[in-house]
Chains A and B, each alone.
Chain A
Amino acid sequence: MDAQLLWLIPALPLAAALVNGALALGTARDAYGAPRALVALLAVLGPALSFALTLALWPSAGGPLEGLPEVYRATYFTWFAGSGFALPFTLVLDQLSALMLLFVTGIGALIHLYSVGYMWADRGFARFMCYMNLFMAAMIVLVMGGSLPVTFLGWEGVGLCSYLLIGFWHERTAYADAARKAFVYNRVGDLGFLLGAFALLSVAGSLDYAAISQWCRSADAARLAEAGPLLSLAALAIFLGCCGKSAQIPLAAWLPDAMAGPTPVSALIHAATMVTAGVFLVARLADLYVVAPQALTVVLLVGCATALWGAIAGLVQHDIKKALAYSTVSQLGFMFMAAGSGAFSVALFHVFTHAFFKAALFLAAGAVIHGLHHEQDMRRMGGLRPHLPIAYLAAFYGWWAIVGLPFAAGFFSKDLILEHLWLGHNELGALNIAPLVAGVALLTAGLTAVYMTRVMTLVFWSPCRLDAEARAHIAPTPLTMSVPLLILALGSLVAGFAWVGLPLDALGIPPDALAFIKHYLAPVLAAPEQRWLAAHPHGELGNLPWAIAGVGTLVAALGALIGYAVWRQGPAQVPSAGSETAPSGWGGHWTFAWDRLAEWLIVKPVFALGYALYWVIELAILGISGWLAMQAARALGAGYLAVVQRARLRANLLCAVLGGAAFLAVVIVFVVR
Chain B
Amino acid sequence: MIGALTWSVLAPLLASVLCLLAGRAARWVALGAMLVPLAVGSAALVSFVRQPGADFRLLESYPWALGAAWTVGVDGIGAALLALTGLVMSIATISAWNEARRPAAYHALVCLLTAAVVTVFTTLDLLVFYIAWEALLLPMLALIGLWGGEQRRYAAIKFFLFTLAGSILMLALVIALWVVQPEATRSFDIRQLAGQWRLWESTSVLGVSLARFGFVAVLLAALVKVPAVPLHTWLPHAHVQAPTAISVILAGILLKLGVYALYRLAWPLFPLQALVFDHWIAVLGVIGILWAAWVALGQQDLKRLVAYASVSHMGFCLLGLAGLTSSGVTGGMVQAITHGLGSPLLFLLVGVVYDRAHHRRIDGFGGLATPMPRFAWALLLASLSGAGLPGLAGFPGEALVLFGSYTAGGWWSWLGALATLSVVLSAAYLLWMLKRVIYGPLRHPEQAAFPDLDAREQAAILPLLLLLLLCGVWPTPLVAALRPACEALITHVTGAP
Which of A81, A629, A644 is in CB contact (< 8 Å) with B479? A81
Chain B CB count within 10 A is highest, among A25, A153, A611, A652, for A652
- A202 close to B (CB within 8 Å): yes
State the CA gap A25–B381 with chains docked (Å). 15
Residues of B334-375 at the interface with A, using a CB-CB cut-off of 8 Å, are 367, 369-370, 373-374
Residues of B close to A152: CB separation below 8 A: 390
Q: Would you give the shortest CB distance from A303 to chain B, in whole angstroms?
A: 24
Q: B153 and A645: CB pair below 8 A?
A: yes
Q: B233 and A667: CB pair below 8 A?
A: no
Q: A657 and B146: CB pair below 8 A?
A: no
Residues of A close to B483: CB separation below 8 A: 82-83
Q: Please encode chain B, from 306 to 347, with 1 for each CB lying within 8 Å of some chain A CB and 0 for all others.
A: 000000000000000000011110110000000000000000
Q: A629 and B158: CB pair below 8 A?
A: yes
- A586 close to B (CB within 8 Å): no
- B475 close to A (CB within 8 Å): yes
Residues of A close to B377: CB separation below 8 A: 25
Chain A CB count within 10 A is highest, among B70, B400, B435, for B435
- A621 close to B (CB within 8 Å): yes
Residues of B290-318 at the interface with A, using a CB-CB cut-off of 8 Å, are 291, 294-299
Q: B441 and A153: CB pair below 8 A?
A: no
Residues of A close to B139: CB separation below 8 A: 656
Residues of A close to B326: CB separation below 8 A: 82-85
Q: B138 and A640: CB pair below 8 A?
A: yes
Residues of B395-431 at the interface with A, using a CB-CB cut-off of 8 Å, are 396, 399-400, 402-404, 406-407, 409, 413, 416-417, 420-421, 423-424, 427-428, 431
State the CA gap A10–B269 with chains docked (Å). 49
- A157 close to B (CB within 8 Å): yes
Residues of A17-65 at the interface with B, using a CB-CB cut-off of 8 Å, are 25, 28
State the CA gap A625–B236 with chains docked (Å). 13
- B160 close to A (CB within 8 Å): yes
State the CA gap A644–B155 with chains docked (Å). 12
Q: A673 and B62: CB pair below 8 A?
A: yes
Residues of B close to A542: CB separation below 8 A: none
State the CA gap A606–B162 with chains docked (Å). 31
Chain A interface extent, by class: 35 or more
State the CA gap A79–B2 with chains docked (Å). 39
Q: Would you give the shortest CB distance from B268 to chain A, in whole angstroms?
A: 19
- A516 close to B (CB within 8 Å): no
Residues of B close to A612: CB separation below 8 A: 298
Q: Would you give the shortest CB distance from A665 to chain B, in whole angstroms?
A: 10
Q: B407 and A621: CB pair below 8 A?
A: no
Which of B14, B108, B327, B440 is in CB contact (< 8 Å) with A173? B440
Known A-B contacts A80-B400, A160-B384, A666-B64; the reply to A202 vs B298 at CB < 8 A is: no
Residues of B close to A610: CB separation below 8 A: 294-298
- B135 close to A (CB within 8 Å): yes
Q: Would you give the shortest CB distance from B177 to chain A, in whole angstroms?
A: 21
Q: Would you give the shortest CB distance from B483 to chain A, in whole angstroms?
A: 7
Q: Please encode chain A, from 636 to 673, with 1 for each CB lying within 8 Å of some chain B CB and 0 for all others.
A: 00001100110101001101110111011011001101
Q: B146 and A198: CB pair below 8 A?
A: no
Chain B CB count within 10 A is highest, among A188, A194, A633, A649, for A194
Which of B17, B237, B330, B403 is in CB contact (< 8 Å) with A198? B403
Known A-B contacts A201-B406, A656-B142; the reply to A80 vs B396 at CB < 8 A is: yes
Residues of A close to B299: CB separation below 8 A: 614
Known A-B contacts A79-B475, A647-B145; the reply to A633 vs B423 at CB < 8 A is: no
Q: Would you give the shortest CB distance from B137 to chain A, in whole angstroms?
A: 10
Which of B146, B406, B435 is in CB contact (< 8 Å) with A177? B435
Q: A657 and B16: CB pair below 8 A?
A: yes
- A632 close to B (CB within 8 Å): yes
- A551 close to B (CB within 8 Å): no
Residues of B close to A153: CB separation below 8 A: 390-391
Known A-B contacts A83-B326, A83-B487, A644-B146; the reply to A611 vs B432 at CB < 8 A is: no
| Contacts between chains A and B (CB distance < 8 A), count | 233
Q: Would you give the shortest CB distance from B187 to chain A, in whole angstroms?
A: 16
Q: Would you give the shortest CB distance from B203 to chain A, in whole angstroms?
A: 30
Q: Would you give the shortest CB distance from B87 to chain A, in whole angstroms?
A: 21
Residues of A close to B8: CB separation below 8 A: none
- B102 close to A (CB within 8 Å): yes
Chain B CB count within 10 A is highest, among A167, A195, A645, A660, for A660
Q: Would you give the shortest CB distance from B492 to chain A, in whole angstroms?
A: 16
Which of B102, B441, B476 is in CB contact (< 8 Å) with A172? B441
- A219 close to B (CB within 8 Å): no
State the CA gap A661–B424 with chains docked (Å). 49
Q: Please encode chain B, from 462 to 480, with 1 for each CB lying within 8 Å of some chain A CB and 0 for all others.
A: 0000000000000110010
Chain B interface extent, by class: 35 or more
Known A-B contacts A188-B424, A629-B161; the reply to A156 vs B391 at CB < 8 A is: yes
Residues of A143-167 at the interface with B, using a CB-CB cut-off of 8 Å, are 149, 152-153, 156-157, 160, 163, 167
Which of B138, B233, B439 is in CB contact (< 8 Å) with A167? B439
Q: Would you give the shortest CB distance from A76 to chain B, in whole angstroms?
A: 12
Residues of B close to A180: CB separation below 8 A: 431-432, 434-435
Q: Please encode chain B, from 217 to 241, with 1 for each CB lying within 8 Å of some chain A CB and 0 for all others.
A: 0000000000000100110110000
- B46 close to A (CB within 8 Å): no
Q: B420 and A663: CB pair below 8 A?
A: no
Residues of B close to A661: CB separation below 8 A: 17
- B4 close to A (CB within 8 Å): no
Residues of B109-148 at the interface with A, using a CB-CB cut-off of 8 Å, are 109, 112, 115, 131, 135, 138-139, 141-142, 145-146
Q: A667 and B330: CB pair below 8 A?
A: no
Q: B476 and A191: CB pair below 8 A?
A: no
- A561 close to B (CB within 8 Å): no
Q: Would you give the shortest CB distance from B267 to chain A, in whole angstroms?
A: 18
- B13 close to A (CB within 8 Å): yes
Q: A78 and B391: CB pair below 8 A?
A: no
Q: Please encode chain A, from 65 to 96, with 1 for each CB lying within 8 Å of some chain B CB and 0 for all others.
A: 00000000000011111111100000000000
Residues of B close to A201: CB separation below 8 A: 403, 406-407
- A510 close to B (CB within 8 Å): no
Which of A179, A613, A632, A659 is in CB contact (< 8 Å) with B138? A659
Residues of B close to A190: CB separation below 8 A: 423-424
Residues of B close to A670: CB separation below 8 A: 62-64, 70
Residues of A close to B9: CB separation below 8 A: 667
- A187 close to B (CB within 8 Å): yes
- A554 close to B (CB within 8 Å): no
Residues of A close to B406: CB separation below 8 A: 198-199, 201-202
Q: Would you give the shortest CB distance from A640 to chain B, in whole angstroms?
A: 7
- A597 close to B (CB within 8 Å): no
Residues of B247-306 at the interface with A, using a CB-CB cut-off of 8 Å, are 291, 294-299
Q: B428 and A156: CB pair below 8 A?
A: no
Q: B297 and A622: CB pair below 8 A?
A: no
Q: Would you give the shortest CB distance from B254 to chain A, in whole angstroms?
A: 17
Q: Would you give the shortest CB distance from A521 to chain B, in whole angstroms?
A: 28
Give 26 A-B contacts (CB < 8 Å), ordered by A residue. A79-B476, A80-B400, A149-B390, A149-B399, A152-B390, A171-B442, A176-B435, A177-B435, A180-B431, A184-B431, A188-B424, A613-B295, A613-B298, A614-B295, A615-B298, A633-B161, A649-B105, A653-B142, A656-B142, A657-B20, A660-B135, A663-B131, A670-B64, A670-B70, A671-B6, A673-B62
Q: Which 8 A-B pairs have the closest CB atoms?
A: A82-B327, A610-B297, A176-B439, A83-B326, A610-B298, A611-B298, A198-B406, A187-B427
* Residues of B that sit less than 8 Å from A by CB: 2, 6, 9-10, 13-14, 16-17, 20, 62-64, 70, 102, 105, 108-109, 112, 115, 131, 135, 138-139, 141-142, 145-146, 153-154, 156-158, 160-162, 230, 233-234, 236-237, 291, 294-299, 325-328, 330-331, 367, 369-370, 373-374, 377, 384, 387, 389-391, 396, 399-400, 402-404, 406-407, 409, 413, 416-417, 420-421, 423-424, 427-428, 431-432, 434-435, 438-442, 475-476, 479, 483, 487
**Other CB < 8 Å A-B pairs besides A82-B479, A614-B298, A657-B108, 7 of them?**
A85-B403, A171-B441, A179-B439, A191-B420, A622-B237, A657-B16, A661-B17
